[in-house]
Structure 1
């Protein structure tokens, strides 16, 4: 990707960008040029030794053309396009000048070592790209395609619009489609931000990313796999260089003005001293001008800085964090306020029994036992959470006269006891006397033989690393951690207290979340950024509005993933702090490269101007800085 940022050598860089880096293919011409270069050093003699000089030209000119062909052709194309002053132009002028004054080995060395730098760059970029692609491959990638009455497991990209697929219980919906037959409950928490699964039936549209929980579904595909979040994320990351960081934009502008200044300064060094200084020879000062051109070449900067950011993107990808451009890496370094959605972001979106409150003489184990047996016939996630919380055995014959009451709960008999389990409306409907109406949260009330027996409180389970995520953010220098949720105040406060959030806002609609983040954005100054982390379709507007929008990608909705600047592939909130750490490390390495390149070049420009540094020192100074910067940038991957 770095080639898009540089002012030249595009064709070579783009070969790394759009295809897999082939080390063997790159090494063959480089090895040939290196062998010719070493042979040429044997024949390196003054011009009066005509046979050896001719042999030197015969060997070194092919070495020069093999190693420098890409630079020479890029310089030619750029000149025809009106883009004269770039690193290709500097190297072309410097090396042709060296050949003109019979410094062939130096000319070949400039091109040869530049190609070695390019080799390192291509290898580093290829490794980063492999990190990104291997990360995306862990996502679900199969569909059960119906063919000639049978079922064949195929890759989703081979499924066409109009094809029929089967989605079995427990499988992820691989493509968008319309249900032809079957009914089931889908875990849509990734798409809607709601914990309660949605019941789907024939004729309804389902979206890729939902989890089929109960029944088998026959679905007609309505969208191609290429339109899925997987393909879109890969495309976004592969084109992340279009979103340049401010540092990259600065270097691009710097190179645009720096290069012509260097050319005219070198021209002045070649022409003026022989005219103004007695005894100064043209050959001596032309050589110094060529040294100045080679030393001043901005290759190290224009290669290593974009590579540093690309390394940051690749390093983050290896850790399960997709960053869609270097500009977002820079933005992450300034994040001071981190705002989380609750369901599916800080919590699992999975129901769990958190309280058993018995009344009228019943004990906790007794109430849980009766509730679990009564709910054992239901597929509702609330009912399943109660069954899972009960450790005892459930005998199906203990449950008789089971009936679901839509919008209220269930009615059944457990071992000849009449049991009602459901919400407060169910108690009022059955005229069960009770004084516990306003229990905040997801609650199941129980009445046994027309007598109120108590309630069971169901809560969303916190993610294992939620508290650790908040602690790491504070350690990283984040000044405020916030949670925005549509849940009630009691649930929100409970979550905030458990994981150590600074503040929270509850009972919010999607538009309320946008208003809330607008308020935080107004409060932040120019040097501090606001990040928002969400996972559902209802979070997409807030993700888009934040300085840095982050989405949970393992089960996150397409809308959230497409809108986000950063995608956390394993849904772990602790990855937010890790993303900030990677961004800051990347930023540090990029500035280390800038300072290193400027310092070394400044020193050798002075040495070259006074005649101490030769073309050999110039070559090693330029290529050495580029290699050191590339190796330094590669540290981000580790």
Structure 2
């Protein structure tokens, strides 16, 4: 609990204790009135203050006004009738404040889930001053300044490395678990953690415009985009509250007047004013105006806690109605990096072929070279390698331990007069010739993510009608990947503009109620992310384009997060509708009972505070997400 909540809890306890004590103290008349008034002010002074402030500002009809009028009216009625029973008015205010405390705690828990999601905000930036490092607030660093980031520190502001080499942990931003190397001349984004060497960075943006700030802004403002359900509740409360106030006024005046003028019976003002006050308490729309936005806010909080950033409650509503999911292949369903998936030998064992290939390619920075070195898995002694020649579009020739080694494609094999064995598997084939003889080939391909197939299966279990894959790869590769994953439909050899065109055709085929989601890596897919009903970017928080274009951003590259996001959205919408039907249903029943005099103030307390607490407790269930 925060300080404000603790203060409210103390007020509730004090008021409850005083109310119990006064029940057993035998005082009457003015002393009794003063004592109960003091208890009322302890628990309700802020509500009365807000009500008067609302009247002053022209915003009369809100829940504060309803509670103030109802409780003050009940208090005045007890004075008028000389009953001395002030318990009801204080009890109404007491239980209302308990409900408000529940609501405040639930919102606070949701907010903590969101803000604690990513501990990426830097506390300081290091500026070198007379050979010493001085810690300053990142907000104070101007564009073009040189900052120093030591090992273990967060990069506070976007910039370009001017001095130093290091490895960067970017997992909080991109979802990539492997460290990323960084050297002088490379661009670097805020939020990364410097792991090894000292870096000097020339800032290219102010802190407010940096990647970290944009992400934090996205998190903090996610509740500003309202869903249709929230907008409906806001409009409903706007017209509903004045209507019930005028209805209560009519209930207090018209029946006694009719009774007096037409039937010539006593007016019974006290009885009908009491019914009107009960009617006001019952009619207070707290359960709706609090629990519905809270349901969405808790949904966003629960999603954030599960590693899914949703930009607003309107996107939760859209996500819940999603029936078609379209995937980009590379970086979404596959890892997007080359890996050795097979070594096929001819005259030499596999490990030896891989060793010769990795050593021959050890001086190259090509992605294929890096994948060979990674697959070899041992420290490479470049002293063993001489006479390295990189032939553009062919491959590499070198001498390893004095033995001639050629590593490349079929063109290189023809160039050196070696006959290569054809490989029928899908992927990039690297042929290896050793000492002038064909030794075998290494198959490299973009491998599937471990959970991609499971994600497709679970999407269908969660009501997705069709899954589609879009890719720029050749059809043979695309069909193999789609077949392994169980994707319903695949379109291959597409340019970025072709992907937009395909999504538009898919959008035209679905019904208005059905929604289409596009899932991409967020870097090259901004146009398609924007065009779909809802765009989902995977592990792309380091990309400005992803943050701007996507409606939902996943914290890592796990496709199962898509399933989790849809399940959270559906659970959130189910709870929201439960609260709407429950709150309105109970209100209508109790309003009728209150109008005819069956429901008293205690029933009114349940209809207002009781329903609100139940609705709030139901709403915060969206915070808790089951593991898949």
TM range (shorter): 0.7 to 0.9
Partners of 1:237 and 1:324 within 8 A in 2 = yes
Query: What pairs up with 1:476-555 in 2 under 5 angstroms?
Result: 476-553=462-539
More displaced 10-residue stretch of structure 1: 391-400 or 378-387? 391-400
Partners of 1:424 and 1:437 within 8 A in 2 = no
Q: Where do 5+ consecutive residues of structure 2 fail to align?
A: 79-84
CA distance in 2, matches of 1:438, 1:191: 38
Structure 1 residue 162 and structure 2 residue 154: aligned?
no
CA distance in 1, matches of 2:343, 2:119: 43
- Correspondence for 2:590 among 599, 604, 608: 604
Equivalent residue number for residue 298 of structure 1: 285
TM-score by length of 2: 0.86
Equivalent residue number for residue 65 of structure 2: 89
CA distance in 2, matches of 1:163, 1:311: 41
Structure 1 residue 337 and structure 2 residue 315: aligned?
no
Partners of 2:155 and 2:189 within 8 A in 1 = yes
Partners of 2:118 and 2:172 within 8 A in 1 = no
For residue 190 of structure 1, report the CA deviation from its aligned partner. 12
- Correspondence for 1:31 among 13, 16, 19: 13
Equivalent residue number for residue 567 of structure 1: 553
Equivalent residue number for residue 106 of structure 1: 88
For residue 326 of structure 1, report the CA deviation from its aligned partner. 1.1
Partners of 2:141 and 2:207 within 8 A in 1 = yes
Partners of 1:300 and 1:629 within 8 A in 2 = yes
Counterpart secondary structure, 1:483: strand
Equivalent residue number for residue 216 of structure 2: 234
CA distance in 2, matches of 1:441, 1:211: 34
Compared CA separation, residues 556 and 93, structure 1 to 2 (3 A): same
Partners of 2:173 and 2:540 within 8 A in 1 = no
For residue 475 of structure 1, report the CA deviation from its aligned partner. 0.6
Equivalent residue number for residue 302 of structure 2: 315
For residue 383 of structure 1, report the CA deviation from its aligned partner. 2.1
Q: Where do 5+ consecutive residues of structure 1 fail to align?
A: 1-15, 45-50
More displaced 10-residue stretch of structure 1: 70-79 or 611-620? 70-79
CA distance in 1, matches of 2:413, 2:149: 38
For residue 258 of structure 1, report the CA deviation from its aligned partner. 1.6
For residue 200 of structure 1, report the CA deviation from its aligned partner. 8.2
CA distance in 1, matches of 2:171, 2:345: 31
Partners of 1:143 and 1:156 within 8 A in 2 = yes
CA distance in 2, matches of 1:114, 1:576: 39
Partners of 1:191 and 1:536 within 8 A in 2 = no
Counterpart secondary structure, 1:230: helix
More displaced 10-residue stretch of structure 1: 332-341 or 382-391? 382-391
Partners of 1:209 and 1:557 within 8 A in 2 = no
Compared CA separation, residues 572 and 450, structure 1 to 2 (3 A): same
Partners of 1:553 and 1:561 within 8 A in 2 = no
* 1:239-268 deviation line (CA, Å, top 9, x unaligned): 223211111111111112222221222222
Compared CA separation, residues 437 and 591, structure 1 to 2 (3 A): closer
More displaced 10-residue stretch of structure 1: 286-295 or 107-116? 107-116
CA distance in 2, matches of 1:552, 1:69: 49
Structure 1 residue 66 and structure 2 residue 42: aligned?
yes
For residue 423 of structure 1, report the CA deviation from its aligned partner. 4.2
Q: CA RMSD in A?
A: 3.8
* 1:213-236 deviation line (CA, Å, top 9, x unaligned): 999864312123432333223222
Compared CA separation, residues 155 and 318, structure 1 to 2 (3 A): farther
For residue 202 of structure 1, report the CA deviation from its aligned partner. 5.3
* 1:438-480 deviation line (CA, Å, top 9, x unaligned): 9864343333345554432212232222111111111101111
For residue 290 of structure 1, report the CA deviation from its aligned partner. 0.9
- Correspondence for 1:124 among 98, 101, 106: 106
Counterpart secondary structure, 2:342: strand
Partners of 2:174 and 2:555 within 8 A in 1 = no
TM-score by length of 1: 0.85
Partners of 1:552 and 1:561 within 8 A in 2 = no
Equivalent residue number for residue 590 of structure 1: 576
